[in-house]
Amino acid sequence: MRNKRFVDFNKEIISGEIGAILGAALGGFVAVYIAHTRNTISFFVLLFSILSASTFFILTKIRNQKKEGIFSIKNIFKEIAYYSPVACLFGVFVGYPFLFLLTKHFLKVGFHPYSAGIISEFTVFLFFLFSINIYRFVLLRVFNREI
């Protein structure tokens, strides 16, 4: 059961990342039509990335819980209560500033906004995936809590 939960958890994270990459690309695409400044484009990449990542993650979590027969709003909130604070801290203090600055850098050196958003988001994701799995491992081994 734990192996399946580990796989499902990582599917949820990867689904969120697919949403983030699509959102980052869409944000860059939309921003080009609104304003051509690097700051505006970077902001839209960040905003669309956050919104679409959250949506994809939650939808996949709901699907996984329905497959396991444990779906309820209470279960969703319980699992998210352990995941969200750490994910938010990572996002606010590491991931999103890095995403913003990396996107801005790629734009400065001549990348298309679409490419800059995708490459930046994927780079941040790899670090996040590694970090959140370490957190999940510690949560399971030290506190006997599963997410």
Number of domains in the chain: 1
Instruction: Give dist(CA 45, CA 56) in Å, integer.
Output: 16
**Predicted local confidence at residue 134, as pLDDT:** 93
Q: Rounded CA gap, 142 and 125, in Å?
A: 25
Predicted TM-score (pTM) above 0.85? no
| pLDDT value of position 2 | 64
pLDDT at 133: 92
Q: 1 falls in which pLDDT band (50, 70, 90)?
A: low
Q: Which two tokens stand for residue 61?
A: 């979590």
The model's pLDDT over 69-115, given as tens digits with 9 standing for 90+, comes to 999 999 888 888 888 888 889 888 988 898 889 989 999 999 988 78
How do residues 23-59 score in pLDDT, each as one tens digit? Answer: 988 998 888 888 778 888 888 888 998 899 999 999 9
Q: Please check the confidence at residue 15 and state whether its pLDDT lies above 70.
A: yes
pLDDT at residue 45 in the model: 84
| Domain enclosing residue 61, as ranges | 2-143
Question: Over 90: is that where the pLDDT of 11 sits?
Answer: yes
3-state SS of the chain is: CHHHHHHHHHHHHHHHHHHHHHHHHHHHHHHHHHCCCHHHHHHHHHHHHHHHHHHHHHHHHHHHHHHHCCCCHHHHHHHHHHHHHHHHHHHHHHHHHHHHHHHHHHHHCCCCHHHHHHHHHHHHHHHHHHHHHHHHHHHHHHHCCCC
